[in-house]
């Protein structure tokens, strides 16, 4: 247990200190809590940026580079490469942070529901 200096009445354990911090958060006014940033606010912000700039196909007037059935090499964020095929296009019905960040393609990967951006794909000419 860690003692908290200057605490009236003695010391606080880590657990007690955590409970005290939780009570402080819960005692904040509703307006203070609502003013905090949220995932929803982030999605609204990046959606507005996307709608203003239209940085990705097809919204920018350019066609998508790949069609369903095309053989591609997908490079993930760690640099690992996988030979896959395009199985579909990602078309969300509501707000989607992934879509506004460029995710357009569905692949025959171990996560076929997870869309990927065109920038992470290149043609697989060996297929």
Strands 121-123 and 71-75: antiparallel
Give the per-residue pLDDT at 19.
Answer: 57
* 3 part of a folded domain: no
* pLDDT tens, per residue, the chain with 127 residues: 444 454 455 555 555 555 555 555 555 455 554 554 677 888 888 888 888 889 889 988 999 999 999 999 999 999 999 999 999 999 999 888 899 999 999 999 999 999 999 999 999 998 6
One domain for residues 47 and 79: no
Q: Can you give the pLDDT at residue 4?
A: 47
Least Cα distance to 59 among 91, 32, 86, 84 occurs for 91
Q: What is the pLDDT of residue 112?
A: 96
Q: Which of 5, 24, 53 is the last residue of a domain?
A: 53
Exposure string of 47-78, with b = 16+ CB inside 10 Å and e = fewer, is: eeebeeeeebeeeeeeeebbeeebebbbeeee
| Position 43 in a domain | yes
- Indicate the number of domains in the chain: 2
Q: Judge whether 5 lies within some domain.
A: no
66 in any annotated domain: no
Tell me the two tokens of residue 84: 């896959």
Residues 75 and 49 in one domain: no
Does the model's pTM come out above 0.85? no
Task: Give me Rg for the CA atoms of the chain.
Answer: 24
Of 53, 79, 100, the residue at which a domain comes to its end is 53
Do the domain assignments include residue 7?
Answer: no
Q: Evaluate whether 4 touches 15 at the Cβ level (below 8 Å).
A: no
Identify the pLDDT of residue 95.
85
Q: In this structure, are 89 and 49 located in the same domain?
A: no
Per the domain annotation, does 115 fall within a domain?
A: yes
Say yes or no: 75 and 111 in one domain: yes
Q: Which residues pair with 90 in a beta bridge?
A: none
Domain of residue 46: give its range. Answer: 14-53
| Same-domain status, 76 and 115 | yes
Is 84 contained in some domain? Answer: yes
């Amino acid at each position: 247990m860690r003692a908290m200096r200057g605490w009236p009445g003695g010391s606080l354990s880590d657990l007690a200190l955590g409970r005290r911090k939780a009570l402080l958060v819960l005692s904040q006014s509703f307006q203070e809590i609502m003013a905090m940033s949220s995932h929803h606010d982030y999605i609204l912000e990046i959606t507005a940026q996307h709608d203003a700039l239209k940085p990705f196909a097809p919204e920018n007037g350019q066609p998508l580079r790949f069609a369903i059935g095309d053989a591609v090499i997908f490079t993930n964020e760690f640099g690992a490469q996988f030979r896959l095929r395009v199985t579909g296009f990602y078309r969300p019905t509501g707000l989607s942070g992934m879509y506004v960040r460029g995710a357009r393609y569905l692949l025959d990967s171990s996560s076929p529901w997870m869309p990927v951006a065109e920038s992470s794909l290149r043609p697989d000419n060996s297929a």
